[in-house]
Structure 1
Amino acid sequence: MWFNVLKNTVLLFLLALISCANLSKPKATIKEAKTIKQSEKQTIVGANRIGKYLPLIQGKRVGVVANQTSVIFKNSQDSIFEVYPDGEIELSHVEKNTKLHTHIIDSLLSLNINIKKVFAPEHGFRGTADAGELVKDGIDTKTGLPLISLHGKNRKPTPEQLKDLDVIIFDIQDVGVRFYTYISTLHNVMEASAEAGIPIIIFDRPNPNGHYVDGPTLEAKNKSFLGMHTIPLVHGMTIGEYAQMINGETWLENGVKCEITIIPVKNYTHNTFYSLPLRPSPNLPNDQSIKLYPSLGLFEGTNINAGRGTEFQFQRYGAPFLDSETMTFKYTPHANFGAKYPKHKDKLCYGEDLSNATIKDEMTLKWVIKAYENSTDKSLFFLTNGFTKHAGTNKLQQQIEAGLSEVEIKATWKDDLEAFKLIREKYLIYD
């Protein structure tokens, strides 16, 4: 009997201790930063570092440049938020695995941030528009916020669109390729903000192609929205680093400089492998397409289909006029998500499947050269001005047409690449 009494007493004591521990469990507050079960090696994007930027936007009228990649991530094993919430919040706000991510707009609104409007780049706020497709202004059905397209009637915010803002947040996932237009949008937003005297906060994200620099350098005479700066095709910088270069190299109109604050990525270097959890645009569905994009993206300036209209975008290429005896892989592009009018729609294409190709840390010309050499009618290959806009130079087309090898062509890039790397070094945030 005495044993049972003793056992019950011990159990009651333990229950009391557990109850007291639960009642006294502290909630995260803005007074003291608290990292919730954060892995030391976990790469943490700028958007997740709430404590770094919340004090900068509280009480401000905020504009946000965003798309479908502008999210705060959750993880079923470890929360990867750095928490400095405004006052007390339930820890479930960051710990429950109801979603793998929360859009930055929803997160900021839940923290009572006064968001006035959202600016959207190419492909739109939800990231569903075709490449090059004009996107109209509108209203976000979920939040009721005004949506202003920066790929429609204007690509640079107007003074009227900025007049009721105190600060702008820029949060878009880039892939580190010159003709991927998000860095052109960055330039235009910085320029408009500098002219209006409005600071920008950049939520930095890793560059999945940030571990090398390669490709032809854009010539000033070939500037366009597909390339606004005299940089190589693959620049090896994050959005935050690139913004510093835009300022430092005085690339904005009239040499104006934009006031920027960068919320850096944590636990990241340029050699850190980073797999994008969300496709950054409709036709970059996975790691393989993103790795191949610097090389196969040149096909956008030709009459060759680069996988648009299939489920293997930028993982294959082909055209009806490629030699079917050499290019034995066959596929037929059809209209689909992100490609309403793919090249050679509903026509049988001959080409090459690269979905399992091994990719080195470089941009390669071998597939463009192979496709050109195996064109049954070479007059069909290059599109007027399109290839020059993507390459940034008319020399590359001339070199391919003259039959130069990849080694010979790449040798002509060497001096420009070395000069750019010296400039790039001044603006790097990460090793």
Structure 2
Amino acid sequence: MDGDFLARIQELIKEGKNAGIRNLIERPPPHHLARLPERLDRNSLIAFFHLIDTDQAADVLLEIDDATRNIILGELENDRISQLVKELDSDDAADILADMEPEDRQAVISRLPAEDRRDVGELLQYPEVTAGWIMSVDFIQAYTSHTVKQVISRLRRQKREAAYASILFVTDRKGGFEGSLRMEKLLFNTPKAKIKDLMEPFPAKVFVPEDQESVAAKAQKSDMPALPVVDEQDKLRGIITIDNIIDVIQEEAAEDIYRSGGVGRETSLFESPGMSAIRRFPWLFVNLVTASIAAAVVGLFQSTIKSLITVFPPIVAGIGGNAGTQTVVMVARSLALGEITTADAWRLLRRQILTCLLLGLGAGILVGAGAFLFKFPVILSPLVFLALTMNILLRGFIGTLVPMLLRQLKLDPSIASGILLTATTDTLGFLTLLGLAALALRFFPA
């Protein structure tokens, strides 16, 4: 999504030229168009979703990040949301509705057709990150007692589109899972052939409460395009298709990457700086505690140290490095997944600078207050506060810009960014604190 396209869309929205907007957005596929809402301001975002076609809006709603989706769901009327949800598969609809407030969610569900209400309501009962949560109830079912002719006749009468149509899942009359039947085998057999004679045992199945990570592992081992989901009585409740498995693998990988950098998986590059700072600060606080322990060890030898200022560099360098790592992880991952491009550099840089400024102020106040409470010289409190704020701000700048620059140079941001950030961590931390200390001592000699 280049800057010219974004600027043109924003211009047309401001001018109210709806026809021009529709002409521009009717060509890109949903995953490309989904990059647009994340780059619009709040008013333009809502206007955009009122303008595009319902089926197109539903597809885009699935593709965008959680932070942007929550803004949209909070602004759109329940009638409009129900129109969008009707266009989606039951599992996708449940995933979106789960983010809404209970009262609004129920209002939207009540506007859905009876069959959709039942299916979505069932899926919303299951805990997140379980097989029941990610499964689809839109599948093709056949009974062991049926003939080929009966199944084909039933398929022709079926109104809803199945999540996966190449395999039929076979059950007994009570819903007990028995096996599977490939569509081509059904079509190339005689009309009187019995399903129980044609079906094959399925290589794997998962249980409703099973963790999604375990589901993904079974899918990889079975090498099947869809997995049946059964309850404790072995009754078929739904299926999990390959696109769900891919989503799970990406989600789990992203969670591991974010955790390695001390970032929650809910954090998005496009959410507000204030919310991003709130999500990221707890990990900085943990780092602050561990760095303070290191500083306390240094403090044990303060009688041998000429100036107490040398106690604080581990804290400043450590917290600054953590903040920089958070930013690098988020930017490098978004670049790898195509969520952002180098054209977004300056806009992201502004957001990250503001976020890191808020993080720096929060951490700086805590450490500065700690220096004051533990009876360090008065001049140290403002020095540590300024050094920590500047250090985190600078790391945010480096953590955003370096991955972008490396991508432009055709280098791997996920590897090289970490190396460059590590190389600057201690140097910048010590330089800001000790440089400010030297400057302060010139004006306020001990």
Q: TM-score range by the shorter chain?
A: under 0.3
TM-score (norm 1): 0.26
Decide which structure has greater strand share: 1
Q: Looking at CA atoms only, which structure, 1 or 2, has the larger radius of gyration?
A: 2
TM-score (norm 2): 0.25
Task: Return the structure number with greater helix share.
Answer: 2
